[in-house]
Structure 1
């Protein structure tokens, strides 16, 4: 086999490996944005990482400092959803009006189990006067 042929075969193999790595990294890191009613309507077999957002229900936030466990409810025009999160308290939790939870819906418990939270603070999006 000539050196040119070896070079071409090696280049094709490297390109295929890189393409495969890119394809698998994107498929595992993407999640769908769903409404609360869409999350609740998923069959147990369909449950995968999803993003759901909504307004934080007043007086629903409970933070357990010993277990680093946060529970609260969000609501949108389609309903209300309890959220459970284990981890450090989000920085903007006190001022947040809206939350985006990333995780999976637990049908048995009726709770969205978030593995990541994004808090939206209204003051950052208000128009300056």
Structure 2
């Protein structure tokens, strides 16, 4: 089982991209603060296909983990987001794997930081 399937209960959508091009905000809900169609979706809210998605950054990080052959799905680790910060929580087998995950997460557009203080190693 991959990261997207385990964390979000979804298969990889067709044409899904880690760094998707944002769609016009006409698709964004009014609560997103979009006053006109000329505004763009905030980078951390861009979904897998460029649509508005409240958890877009976390889903794109999960997709990036799925696409990295050196990262297996670690069923004791979870990905969330707080604004543009990717939050990793749970347990990983080694510091090397955690460092690789942080590197991959930072490479996703919209990620302003990666928080690992809720991750244990062992």
- TM-score of the superposition, structure 1-length normalised? 0.23
- TM-score of the superposition, structure 2-length normalised? 0.24
